[in-house]
Structure 1
Amino acid sequence: MEWWNDDGICPKRPLSCKSSDSRLGKDPSVGGVSCNDKGRVNELDLGSRWQKNSESLRGTINLSSLLHLEFLEYLDLSYNDFEGTISFPSVVNNSKLSRLDLSFNSHLHMENLHWLSPLSSLGYLGLSGIHLHDQTNWPHSLSSLPSLFELKLKGCNLTNIYPYDKNVTLSKLAFLDLAQNNFNTQLPHWLFNLSTELWFLNLSHCNFRGQIPDWFDKLNRLSYLDLSNNLFHGPIPSNLPNSSTIQILDISFNDLSGNLPKSFERHFQFLDLSHNSLSGDISNFLLSSAYISMPFNKFEGGLPHLSHEVKILDLAHNSFSGSLSPLLCHTQNNHKNRLFYMDISSNYLAGDVPDCWHNWKELYCIYLGSNKLSGEIPPTIASLPRLHLLDLHDNELYGHIPWSFHHSSTLSLINLERNNFFGSITNWMPQNISFVNLRSNQFSGNIPSQLCGLSSIIVLDLANNTLSGWIPHCLNNLTSLVTGIWNNGLTSYIVYDGGVVFTFTFKMTLSLKGQQLDYSKTLRLVRSIDLSLNKLCGEIPPQLFQLIKLQSLNLSYNHLTGKVPDEIGMMKDMESLDLSHNKFDGEIPQDISSLSFLSDLNLSYNNFDGKIPVGTQLQSFNESSFIGNPELCGAPLKNCTEPEEQKQEELEGGDEDEYFWKSLYVGMGVGFAVGFWMVSGSIFFIRTWRHRFFRWFDGVVDQIYVIVALKCRNLNDKGA
C-alpha cells in the first residue's frame, strides 16, 4: 500500500493548513500538520507514541516524497508500523529539515545511511528500533551531519563501532543514545572526542568489555552517564564522579570490584552501583545522593551515614554487620530527613531494632528482612504516618505485635515470616491491610472472626503456627477475594528535581505451589490463603469457597474432617489447591473437575473414597496427588474396574442360581401333575404296577436329594 504520492500528499490524510492549527512540539499530545505564516507545511507529526486513542499507522512509505516538501522542518513518523526501503534519494530540495524521527518502525529497511548527508540542518535524528545490522560504517555516515546535537540509535542491532573519520567531528552533539546494541568491544577513543557539549550518554546493554577508562573527566558537561549491563571489570576510576555536572550515574550489572572511591560521597541525584563485586568498609561515608542503589555487592563493616537529602536507599544483599543505630539514630537535621524507601535486607545486621523512627516520618517502605535482628518491634514504627510496607522476615524477633499498628491508616503489607512472635493474630491488624505474612512464628489460639472484617486482604499466610479451632464461617466477607477488585495501588512514582521519574514496586517472597516464589513484579496479581501446618479442626465452611477470585488455597497438615463441599467448583480462578494430610472423607466432589486453571493439586493422605472424578485436569496429575487414600480409585491410581467386574459376576451368578431354582420348582410341579394322573390311575387299577411304582419313586427321590445337595454345596463354596 502506498501512502504518499509524488507531491508528498497522503490520499487518506490530505496535508492542509488552517490558521487554527497548533504548533507541534508545544503539546506532545497534539499531532498532525502545522504550517508557517505563509501557509506552507513545515511540521508533520504522525508519531503514535503521544497520540491519544489512535492506532499505529501501517503501509509502505516513500520518504523521498516527503523530503520534497521544501519548507518541512519537523517530521515525526515514530512508533508506527511503516515498511519499505530507504535509500539515497535522487533529488532532495530540502535543506531545512531539523528534526527527523523514524524510531520504532521495525519493518523499515535502510540499505545505508548515505541518504542523510544532504540534510545539513538536521539537529535531531531518531532511528531507534530500526534494524541497522548491516551498517558497518555508520559513524562515518553520521559525521557528515555538522548540525546534529541529538542522536538516538537505541536497539538497532549495531555490531561495529569502528571506523571513524578523525578529520570530522560531531562538535555539537549533546545527546547520544547507543543502548541495546551488541558491540562486544572496548570503548573506542573517538567516542570521547566527539563533542565538548555532550551532556547525555547512554551506552547500556551493549556488551562493552574491559575496564572503564578514565577519559570521562574530559566530558566536563556530562550530566547523564549510563554504563549499566555491560562486561566492565576492575575498579571504578577514581575520577569518574569528579565531574561537577554529573547528576545521574548508572554502572550497575557489571563485574566491577575494589573499594568505593571517596569521591562518591559528593551529591549526585541518582547513583546505581548494584549487581557488581564492589567491597570494602564504607561506615565512614556520608552518602548524599537522592537515589542510592548498591545491592548485590560485597560491602562489609558498619552501615554508612545518610544525608537528609537521601530519598531512596537500597543496601540489600551485602555483608554489612553491626547495629542499625549508626544509620537511624545519628543523622543530621533529623527534622528534615526525606528518606522514603529503605532496603537493608539480606545482610548480617544484629541487635535490637532501635527506637529512633520518629526521625523518619517520610518512610513509605521498610525492608529489614534476612538479618540477625533480635528483640521486640518498637511501637514507634507503627506511628510512622506514611508507612505502607514493613518487612522484617527471617530474623530473631519475638514478643507481641504492637497494638498501635491497629491505628495505622496506611499500612498495606506486613511480612513477619520466620521469627518468634506470639499471641493473637488480629487485634493489632490495621483495617486497610492487604498482604499479611505471619508464617513460621508461634501465634496461637483460634482464628477470630474479626479477621473477616479486613475486607482488603488478598494475601493471607498464617502457616506453620499453632493456631487451633475452626475455620471462621465469615471468610466470604473478605470482599477483595470475592470481587477481585483491589484499590490499594502498589506502584509509586517519585519525581526528583530536573524531571527525572523513578518507579518501584512492593516485593514479597511467598510460599506457593510448594516452593518459595519471588513476587516483586506481580505481587498485585496474587490472591492466596495459606492456613497449613496448624492445628485447625472441624469441617471446611462452604463460605470459604465463595472467595471465587482466590488462586491458591493451602489447608494441609491440619485436623480437618468431613466432606469437601460441592461449592469448591465455584472457584474458577483456582490454580493451586492443597488439602493433604487431613481427615477428609467421602467422595471427591465432581465439580472439582471444572477448575480449568488448576495446575497444582494435592489431596493425599486423607480418607477419600470412591472414584476420582473424570476430567482433563485431574487425570493430568500424577498419583502423588492422591496417594494415602486407601479407598480411592481411578486414574491416576489403580482403576476401579476390578470391583465392578466382581459385582457383575455376583449379579450374573445370582441370576443363574435363581434360574436354576425356578426351573427346578416348575419342572417338579409340572412333572408331578402329569405323572400323578398318568400313574395313579394305573396304580389304582393294576396291583403289580403299584409295587413297581413305589420302588421307582424311592429311587427318584434319592437322585433328587443328591442333585440338590451338590448344588447347595457349590453355592456355599462360591459364597465363601
Structure 2
Amino acid sequence: MQGPGMCLKLFLAFALLLLQCVEGGEVGRNHRDANVTGRCIEKERQALLAFKRGMVDKFDVLSSWGLEIQKQDCCRWIGVSCSNQTGHVLQLDLSYKVMDEHYYSLEGKMISPKLIELQYLHHLDLHGINFNGSQFPNFIGSLSNLRYLDLSDTLLGGKFPSQVGNLTNLQHLGLSFNDFTNAENLDWLPLLSSLRYLDLSGTNLSNVLDWPEAINKLPELTNLTLWECDLPSPILSPLSYINSSKSLASADLSFNHLSTSIFLWLSNYNTSLVYLDLTNNFLAGSIPDVLGNMSTLAHLDLSNNQLEGGDPHSFSRLCSLQSLDLATNRLNVSGQLAKFVQILFSTCAQNSLEILDLSWNGIAGSLPDLTKLSSLATLLLNNNKFSGVISGTHFSKLSKLQVLDFSWNDLAGSLPDLTNLSSLEILFLHNNQLSRAIPEIFGSVFSKLF
C-alpha cells in the first residue's frame, strides 16, 4: 500500500504545483491587463484618444482609434508604432507618408497636452495637418526622447518655439511654413548637436544676423533648408568658420536676401556640399571664383539673380556637376558664348553635366558648338537673342539629349536633320525666324514638337 500511497501523494503534489502555475499565470495576465490592452499601455492609449478628440476628422480616417474591444490595442492604430518588448508608443506619424489619399483631410483644433504621457516617443510627424493658428504646444519641449520631429505646414502660431532646443536627441527637425512670429535668435540651435536635418523654411529670420554661426555649430548636419526665410546676407566674422560642420551635403537657401558674400561662408563646405540652391536672391556681379573650390557639387541653382558675365573659370573645376541652372540672370557673354561654353565644360565636367539652363539671359550671337557636352539630357536656351542658322553640327553628338528648347530667339533658316538625336523627346523651336517647312520625319521621331 505504501507504493500506491506514495504515487497518490506525488500525483496530488504535481497537480497542486500545476494549479499554482496556472493561477500564477492568470494573476500575471490580469496584472498586465490592468496596465496593457493587448500590447498597448493604457495611459498612452488614453493620451492618444485625447489627441484624437482635438482633431477634426471629417472622413473618419482615424476610425481604427476607438474604445471598442476590437480597437483597444493602440499599437494597431493607423500612424502608431510601439515597442515589441515594452508596448510603449514609439512613433506617431500622421503625415502624407502614412495617410496617402487622406493626407489633407485631417485638421486640428489643438495638439492635446495629454501627449506628454508618451515619454518614450522618439518619432512625431504631423506634417500637413492644419491646426488653424493654434499655439505651439510647450510640452513638446519635454518629450526628451524625440529624435524626429516634423510639424511643417501645420499652421501652428504663437512665439517661435525655441523650447525645441531642449530636445537634445533630435536628429530631424522640420518646422517649415507655420504662423510663428519672427524668430529673434537661434541661440537654442547649437544645443541640438546630433541634428542631421533642419528645415525652417517660411520662418522670418530677418533679425538673426548671426545665423551662419548657429548652423556651423551643428557638427552632424547634412541637410539644411531655409527657403523663404528673409535671411539677411551674413556679416562674416572669425566665428563663422569655427567648428563648422564638414558634413553638410544639401543647402537650399533660395528666396532670401543673400549677396555673393554667402559663397565665403559656403566655402566651409567645399568637400561635402553636393546640392546648392540659391535661386531668387540678391546675387550680383561676377560669378565668384571661390565657387570653383566646391569640388563635390553635383546640383547648382543660381537662377533668378543678377549675376553678370566674365570668364566663368570657376565652373571648370566643378568636376562632379550634373545640373547647372543660370536662368534669368544678366550673363553678359554676347559674342563670347563659345568661350563661355569652352570654359564651362572643360574636360573636367563635360562628361557629367546632364542639365543646363541658360534661358532668359539676353545672350546674343550664334549658337556655339555643343558637341562636347555628351552627357546632356536637358538643354534650355530659350528667351535669348541667338541669331544665325542652326547647323546639324551644333548638336550632332548629343545622343542622350531628351529636351531641347531654343524658342523665343532670332534663329533663321530651315531646320537641319536632327534625327541623330536618338533620345530626343521634346523639342521647342517656336517664336524664331525659322522656315515653316518642318521635316516630316520629326513627327515620327519626337514625341512632342512645339
Q: Quick one: distance in 2 between partners of 1:82 and 1:411?
A: 45
After TM superposition, the structure 1 = structure 2 runs for residues 224-623 of structure 1, keeping only pairs within 5 Å, are 224-265=275-316, 266-267=318-319, 268-280=321-333, 281-284=336-339, 285=342, 287-288=344-345, 307-316=350-359, 317-322=361-366, 324=368, 326-328=369-371, 331=372, 337-345=374-382, 346-351=384-389, 353-354=391-392, 359-378=397-416, 380-382=417-419, 384-398=421-435, 400-405=437-442, 408=444, 410-414=446-450
Instruction: Tell me the amino acid that sits aligned with residue 405 of structure 2.
Output: Y
The alignment status of 1:183 with 2:231, answered yes or no, reads yes
SS of the residue corresponding to residue 201 of structure 1 reads: strand
SS of the residue corresponding to residue 314 of structure 2 reads: helix
Distance 1:143 1:68, change over 3 A: farther
Quote the residue 1:140 is aligned against.
187
| Structure 1 residue 104, shift from structure 2 partner | 0.6
Distance 1:61 1:376, change over 3 A: closer
Distance 1:136 1:387, change over 3 A: same
| Structure 1 residue 382, shift from structure 2 partner | 4.7
Quote the residue 1:67 is aligned against.
116
SS of the residue corresponding to residue 271 of structure 1 reads: strand
Q: Quick one: distance in 1 between partners of 2:394 and 2:224?
A: 45
Instruction: Tell me the amino acid that sits aligned with residue 377 of structure 2.
Output: F
Instruction: Tell me the amino acid that sits aligned with residue 131 of structure 1.
Output: D
Q: Quick one: distance in 2 between partners of 1:41 and 1:360?
A: 55
Q: Report if the CA contact (8 A) 1:227-1:252 is conserved.
A: yes
Q: Quick one: distance in 1 between partners of 2:88 and 2:348?
A: 61
| Structure 1 residue 178, shift from structure 2 partner | 1.3
Quote the residue 2:83 is aligned against.
35
The alignment status of 1:8 with 2:59, answered yes or no, reads no
How big is each residue's C-alpha offset from its partner over 1:419-447, in whole Å with a ceiling of 9 and x where there is no partner? xxxxxxxxxxxxxxxxxxxxxxxxxxxxx
Greater Cα radius of gyration, structure 1 or 2: 1
Q: Report if the CA contact (8 A) 1:48-1:79 is conserved.
A: yes
Distance 1:381 1:147, change over 3 A: closer
SS of the residue corresponding to residue 173 of structure 2 reads: strand
Distance 1:41 1:260, change over 3 A: farther
Q: Quick one: distance in 2 between partners of 1:373 and 1:104?
A: 46
Aligned-residue CA RMSD (Å): 3.7
SS of the residue corresponding to residue 315 of structure 2 reads: helix
Q: Which has the higher strand share?
A: 1
| Structure 1 residue 5, shift from structure 2 partner | 9.2
SS of the residue corresponding to residue 166 of structure 2 reads: coil
| Structure 1 residue 371, shift from structure 2 partner | 4.5
The alignment status of 1:172 with 2:215, answered yes or no, reads no
Q: Report if the CA contact (8 A) 2:331-2:363 is conserved.
A: no
TM-score, normalised by the number of residues in structure 1: 0.46
The alignment status of 1:158 with 2:213, answered yes or no, reads no
Instruction: Tell me the amino acid that sits aligned with residue 244 of structure 1.
Output: S
Quote the residue 2:10 is aligned against.
none
Q: Report if the CA contact (8 A) 2:406-2:428 is conserved.
A: yes
Q: Point out the more displaced range, 70-79 or 34-43.
A: 34-43
Instruction: Tell me the amino acid that sits aligned with residue 275 of structure 1.
Output: T
| Structure 1 residue 9, shift from structure 2 partner | 2.3
Q: Quick one: distance in 1 between partners of 2:189 and 2:385?
A: 49
Structure 1 alignment gaps of length 5 or more: 23-29, 290-303, 415-720
Distance 1:65 1:6, change over 3 A: farther
| Structure 1 residue 275, shift from structure 2 partner | 1.8
Distance 1:45 1:368, change over 3 A: closer
Q: Quick one: distance in 1 between partners of 2:48 and 2:348?
A: 63
| Structure 1 residue 248, shift from structure 2 partner | 1.9
Distance 1:205 1:192, change over 3 A: farther
Q: Quick one: distance in 2 between partners of 1:60 and 1:394?
A: 53
Quote the residue 2:56 is aligned against.
none
How big is each residue's C-alpha offset from its partner over 1:227-265, in whole Å with a ceiling of 9 and x where there is no partner? 221112232221113122222222221222242431302
Distance 1:251 1:116, change over 3 A: same
Instruction: Tell me the amino acid that sits aligned with residue 189 of structure 2.
Output: L
Quote the residue 2:266 is aligned against.
216
Q: Quick one: distance in 2 between partners of 1:376 and 1:91?
A: 67
Q: Quick one: distance in 2 between partners of 1:155 and 1:80?
A: 16
Q: Quick one: distance in 2 between partners of 1:143 and 1:410?
A: 53
The alignment status of 1:85 with 2:85, answered yes or no, reads no
Q: Report if the CA contact (8 A) 2:44-2:117 is conserved.
A: no
Structure 2 alignment gaps of length 5 or more: 1-42, 53-64, 67-71
Q: Report if the CA contact (8 A) 1:7-1:68 is conserved.
A: no
Q: Larger RCO: Structure 1 or Structure 2 (Cα < 8 Å, ≥ 6 residues apart)? A: 2
**Number of residue pairs the alignment of both structures matches:** 376
SS of the residue corresponding to residue 350 of structure 1 reads: strand
| Structure 1 residue 270, shift from structure 2 partner | 2.0
Q: Quick one: distance in 2 between partners of 1:103 and 1:273?
A: 30
